[in-house]
Structure 1
Amino acid sequence: MSTPEPNRVAKGDELPPLQVHLTRADLVRYAGASGDFNPIHWSDRVATGAGLPGVIAHGMLTMAAAGRLVTNWIGDPTALRTFGVRFTRPVVVPDDDEGASVDITGVVGDVTETDGTRVARVDITAKFDGKTVLGRASAEVQLP
């Protein structure tokens, strides 16, 4: 399968993969931007006390990283028509300089045309530590 140019898209085309590295510093910056200061995103004591394996990335931060795969490819964030995911597993971010890596891939699941407007559905896979962290992740983009 090939990497599609947005104006020549076909079902089965793969988007260029994206690897996103998340560190504790990224979580702090996201907390400030989003206003989500839940301590499971910065305190190991609270996170493990809540039954988590450690500090976890904000779900919406992980979702935004997956969305970046699509907007990087299409080149125009305003072309994004719909985007949805289900959170299936947390991204555990260790307190070190390495952080956590999320590997994101996408494939064009369908291309439709209505009244001259072409829309591609992109099925997205996001994995951390070899395991899927987002389920039913897909986006619809208006094609040029």
Structure 2
Amino acid sequence: MTATVKYDEVEAGQEIPARDFPVSRLSLVMYAGASGDFNVIHWNERIAKSVGLPDVIAHGMFTMAQGGRFVTDWAGDPGAVVDYGVRFSAPVVVPDDDQGAVITISGVVEEKLGDNKVVVALKAYSGDSRVLSKARAVVKLA
């Protein structure tokens, strides 16, 4: 875990460096088991393509969870997120090859709220596609 970020050490407009989160077909199968979401578009290429998708896609909640992970890793506290919401703007397409897909997430401290809380705005991309929009987290810092 990274060092705990302190409220007094951040400013509105401060950028949080981008991180890459790899996504493989195995990641999706493991997530399906943990979440109970076994929708075949998340693991069966033939079915995914038959319903008009380019390939197997990651679960939306899996993608959202990577944003949450980005924020908690930055804050240095897995319980720091007090509110979090996103809109799903494009699927994360996960080909069946050695590379899989990558979700790249970056952030910016948008606002300091007081009570050691900040609003973090996130950008999440997979390739050229923005996969999360209106992604915001309220984070309570040390």
Residue 111 (structure 2) aligns with? 110
Coordinate RMSD, CA, aligned = 0.9
- 1:49-86, CA deviations, whole angstroms, 9 ceiling, x for partnerless residues? 11111100011111001111100011112121101000
1:137 aligns with: 135
Distance 2:101 2:6 in 1: 30
Q: What count of residue pairs does the alignment treat as equivalent?
A: 137
CA distance in 1, matches of 2:6, 2:128: 29
Read off the aligned partner of 2:99 and give its amino acid letter: E
Query: What is the TM-score of this pair, normalised by structure 1?
Result: 0.92
Q: Structure 1: give runs of 5+ residues left out of the alignment.
A: none
Tell me, what secondary structure is at the counterpart of 2:116? strand
Structure 1 residue 122 displacement after superposition: 0.2
Could you tell me how far 1:16 is from its partner in structure 2?
A: 2.8
Letter matched to residue 133 of structure 1? V
The 5 Å alignment of 1:23-38 reads: 23-38=24-39
Q: Which amino acid aligns with 1:73?
A: W
The TM-score, its normalising length taken from structure 2, stands at 0.93
Secondary structure, counterpart of 1:89 in structure 2: coil
| Whole-Å separation in 2 of the counterparts to 1:78 and 1:65 | 15
- Which amino acid in the other structure matches residue 6 of structure 1? K
State the one-letter code of the partner of 1:21.
Answer: P
* Residue aligned with 1:93, SS: coil
Instruction: Tell me which residue corresponds to 2:53.
Output: 52
Within 1, Cα distance between the matches of 2:79 and 2:141?
Answer: 11
Which residue of the partner structure matches residue 70 of structure 2? Answer: 69
Judge conservation of contact 1:57–1:91 (CA < 8 Å) in 2: yes
The question of whether the paired residues in 2 share the 8 Å contact of 1:6 and 1:73 is answered with no
